[in-house]
């Protein structure tokens, strides 16, 4: 089992003990690259991530409060490869967000800033495909910070399990993380914790990858072609068996 609630990154992946400069982060981010389309899906390292934030508006003053992630390799979650860090957002934590996430003002006071956390995350997630559920939300916050402070953004290939689910199961009434986990008989840990939600999304990806393998998809190019086709024609397609 994942006994990871409010685990510190220092015990998981060695968070930098010093403040990282914007130039260091910029150089680190620029080292990222897209995945080779010919690479076999089973050989790809997937990093499934989630963030908690002070609100929903990245360009209206809201900031990242925590970042969590877990690795999938060989089609399976790697329980020992996790990343989790509470972030000092440089602003007040709204009471409603504390109620939702459990993260308090006191908890963020001595935590690293997002520049430092992202520098370590980018190194840890190197040569990986980024994955998330409604991933655009998380990337908007991350890339806003990178563009504002470094003039760049993440260069990884990425996958959204929300969009995958809509292609694979075109007739569901809801594609929320919680409802998809219930539909696929996946037990979710406490919601609105970045690492827990990343693990739940990773369990979705495990199932989706196994389904696609049974359909004969082998490479990342196969994967992209499959979902491009489904996004164009999904209203007329039956869902895959799981």
**173-204 core/surface letters (b: 16 or more CB in 10 A; e: else):** eebebeebbebeebeeeeeebbbbbbbbbbbb
Spatial separation of the C-alpha atoms in residues 13 and 77, rounded to whole Å: 16
Compute CA distances 157 → 33, 93, 132, whole Å. Answer: 7, 32, 12
Q: How far is it between the farthest Cα atoms of the chain?
A: 54
Chain CA centroid to CA 226, Å: 22
Q: What are phi and psi of 135, to 5 degrees?
A: -60, -30
Q: Which of 127, 145, 192, 242 is catalytic?
A: 192
The answer to whether 192 is a known catalytic residue is yes
What's the gap between Cα 27 and its chain centre? 22
**Token pair listed for 171:** 């007739």
**Positions marked catalytic:** 192
């Amino acid at each position: 089992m994942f006994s990871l609630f409010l685990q510190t990154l220092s015990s998981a992946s060695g968070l930098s003990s010093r403040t990282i400069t914007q130039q260091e982060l910029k150089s680190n981010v620029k080292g990222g690259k897209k995945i080779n389309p010919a690479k076999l899906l089973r050989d790809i390292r997937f990093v499934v991530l989630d963030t908690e934030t002070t609100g929903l508006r990245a360009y209206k003053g809201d900031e990242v409060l925590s970042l969590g992630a877990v690795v999938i390799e060989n089609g399976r979650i790697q329980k020992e490869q996790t990343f989790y860090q509470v972030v000092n957002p440089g602003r007040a934590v709204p009471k409603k967000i504390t109620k939702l996430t459990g993260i308090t003002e006191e908890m963020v006071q001595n935590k690293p800033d997002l520049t430092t956390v992202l520098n370590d995350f980018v190194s840890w997630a190197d040569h990986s495909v980024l994955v998330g559920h409604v991933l655009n939300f998380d990337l908007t916050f991350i890339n806003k910070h990178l563009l504002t402070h470094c003039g760049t953004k993440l260069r990884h290939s990425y996958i959204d399990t929300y969009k995958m689910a809509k292609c694979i199961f075109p007739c569901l009434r809801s594609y929320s993380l919680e409802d998809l986990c219930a539909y696929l008989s996946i037990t979710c840990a406490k919601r609105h914790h970045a690492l827990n939600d990343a693990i739940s999304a990773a369990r979705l990806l495990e199932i989706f990858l196994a389904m696609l393998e049974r359909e004969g998809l082998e490479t990342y190019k196969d994967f992209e072609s499959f979902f491009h086709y489904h996004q164009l024609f999904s209203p007329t397609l039956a869902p895959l068996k799981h």
